[in-house]
Amino acid sequence: MERQENLRLPGLHQQAEELSINRKAISIIIIFHLIGLIGLSIPATRTIFLYLVPWHLLLMLAVIVLNHNRVDNRFIFFMALIFISGFAAEWVGIHQHWFFGAYSYGKTLGIKVSGVPLIIAVNWFLLTYSASVLMQRSRLKSMLFRVIIGSFILVVLDFLIEPVAVRLDYWHWADGAVPFKNYLSWFLAGVVMLLIYELFRFKYQRVVASVFLLTQFIFFGTLYLVQVIFLA
């Protein structure tokens, strides 16, 4: 009996430690999104908070990566694939207009290479990884359903992001309106990137990335109400 109790203790300790890590990471995600939401909603502080957008994304990248279950060479290779895929899709979109439509980036997302902000690759990773983890945790048995539903979730999020992004100088559409092609491209890009995640067969991941995705919905949904509707 005593031996069984001793065997249980390491498992309980590990669970408690993981719960503590989850709480810290989730707290960072929520607090920094809340601060950003307030800062971007106040005209007097908006300029400085727009400057901080790329740094915010880098902080979120660190939080998400550090909370991945087993960061090894496979995971780093996966990250590189998503970074390159996201950047390549944006480059083709900017220069050839095959994806997304005719658009250009503003100053908010920072340093650009050939017209594409470097930080946009980070954003693609954050969103597609978080959607992938959410679908993994959903316990849907069909990989096809997980990929399709996860991609659809990303399209819904982009629907909230688009009007806010234009208003905050993330990017601008040549015709002033978001084309249907943009949402179709988001869906197709999501399918490819979520499928890449599935093919790597990562272990069951912590809830942190799922919370990040939910926070993104709340963040951009609230900014949509404040920036686009109330301050229109």
- pLDDT tens per residue, range 38-76: 999 999 999 999 999 999 999 999 999 999 988 899 999
10 Å CB burial of residue 151 (0-12, 13-18, 19+) is buried
Q: Distance between CA atoms of 170 and 67, rounded to whole angstroms? A: 28
Give tens-digit pLDDT for 166-208. Answer: 999 999 999 889 999 999 999 999 999 999 999 999 988 889 9
CA 74 to chain centre: 20
Q: Are 224 and 164 in contact (CB under 8 A)?
A: yes
Phi and psi angles of residue 76, each rounded to the nearest 5 degrees, phi first: -65, -40
pLDDT of amino acid 9: 46
Tokens at 141, concatenated: 């048995």
Q: Which residue has the tokens 């650009």?
A: 112
Share of the chain above pLDDT 70, in %: 89
